[in-house]
Amino acid sequence: MRALVAKRVDRGVADLAEITDLAEAAGHEVVATLTQTREEDAAYHFGEGKADELAALVVESDAECVIIDNEVGPYQTFNLGRKLPEDVEVIDRFTLILEIFGQRAHTRKAQLQVELAELRYELPRAEVKASLAQRDERPGFMGLGEYDESRERDIKSRISRIETELDDIADKEEERRQRRRESGFDLVALAGYTNAGKSTLLRRLAADLEMDENADQHPDLDETAESEDRLFTTLGTTTRRAETGKRDVLLTDTVGFISDLPHWLVESFQSTLDSVYYADLVLLVVDASEPVPEMREKLVTCHDTLYERNEAPLVTVYNKVDQLTPKELREKREALSALAPNPIEVSGLTGQNVDELRARIEAELPDWRQERMLLPLSDEAMSLVSWVHDNGHVEREAYDEEGETVTLEFEAPPSVVEQARARAGELGPGVEAGSI
């Protein structure tokens, strides 16, 4: 669809880069642009003169829709629409984002989250839309729809049902996370703004490993993660297995952040963000090729979102450093040292410093416990030894000369150590176990 992109700012110069990217991500062709610097007009959002200019530009460029990089109220949408040709639609920033989300929602969870966001956006507008629709002779004018007095009640009922289903999904995902931890996996989440290169980095970290997880137990595990240069390639979560050394790590790539997301939209994707909140470690991926002011703004927004509920360590990853000179990278690191005091600098595209990132991941993960066990030799004991090898890191495995006992020294997550002790206790007399 041919689109005119417009933006109003209270002061300064309006930047259309992000909204243009969003429009193209939704499949629109941007054929014209318009900006204005002034306080918001209650009737038209833009000043009325600028609204007339917008209408003329729509006709001149043969645009089929107007995309406004602001939140535009129903009354303002109605008034702008009356200045435009009848078949031209007005779309604000958040309607566009929801349009993109809807196109990328391929799982039941993602589809529910998109519908929830749409309903939360619609709810406060339902009554306003009704009165506006009744004021115009064209049914469904500007997508307002015909009014049904039960619409608001239906929206609230549907929101409640979706929230219940998403809660059920979240409970199952929490059970899955616990099973993974009990199996010796550390959970690492990739967070950050859209197009920071999270999916490319995920592929780089896990590209040499094949999935061996049970698909029924872990339905979100995927052997591939898209890494296209477009916004919101990853809407749901993609989890892949990687090794960083001693540890078995599950990496989860989550939906990218974007500027100026309202509270209702963030809340609608709460169950996706749980993958970040409940991780053992968060990698905050930042596009280091962007200007310092943009990097700073995005770091602040990410910190505000992540630190609200997340208790896991957070490591800032400056990605795309292949696009910078050493001097440029050093200057950016110094300028942002207060927000990212000890970042790691990598290129997911070329693989630069990815091995250092693997080592950093392992160093930042919660400490494992060291354990020593003396076990009487038996088939059950050897089964336990094999299980510890699979779920921890064995430092020493030694058998006495008589072939009656085996000594096992290993590191593992606390949950694995406790399970190993429980299994050892079932082997009968002669078992010794304790921390090193």
User: Which residue from 371, 369, 429 is spatially nearest to 405, judged by alpha carbons?
Assistant: 429
Q: Starting at the edge strand that comes first in sequence, how are the strands of the sheet with 432-435 ordered?
A: 393-399, 405-412, 369-376, 432-435
32 DSSP β-pair partners: 4
Q: Which residues are annotated as a binding site for Mg(2+)?
A: 199, 234
Asked if residue 287 lies in contact with residue 193, where contact means CB atoms within 8 angstroms, the answer is yes
Asked if residue 360 lies in contact with residue 315, where contact means CB atoms within 8 angstroms, the answer is yes
Q: 311 φ, ψ to 5°?
A: -110, -5
What is the token pair recorded at 195?
A: 């197009």
Segment holding 420, helix H or strand E? helix 414-425
- Using DSSP's 3-state secondary structure scheme, residue 386 falls into helix
Query: DSSP strand E in 121-201: where?
Result: 185-192
Q: Which residues are annotated as a binding site?
A: 192-199, 234, 253-256, 319-322, 347-349
Angle between helices 17-25 and 93-104 in degrees, nearest 10? 40
User: Which residue from 198, 10, 27 is spatially nearest to 102, judged by alpha carbons?
Assistant: 27
- DSSP code string of 329-341: HHHHHHHTTTT-S
**Amino acid (one-letter) located at 18:** E
What is the token pair recorded at 144?
A: 């307002």
Helix and strand tally (H, E) in the chain? 15, 14
123 DSSP β-pair partners: none
21 DSSP β-pair partners: none
User: Which residue from 260, 254, 243, 236 is spatially nearest to 206, judged by alpha carbons?
Assistant: 243
Asked if residue 196 lies in contact with residue 348, where contact means CB atoms within 8 angstroms, the answer is no
- Using DSSP's 3-state secondary structure scheme, residue 231 falls into coil
**Amino acid (one-letter) located at 121:** Y
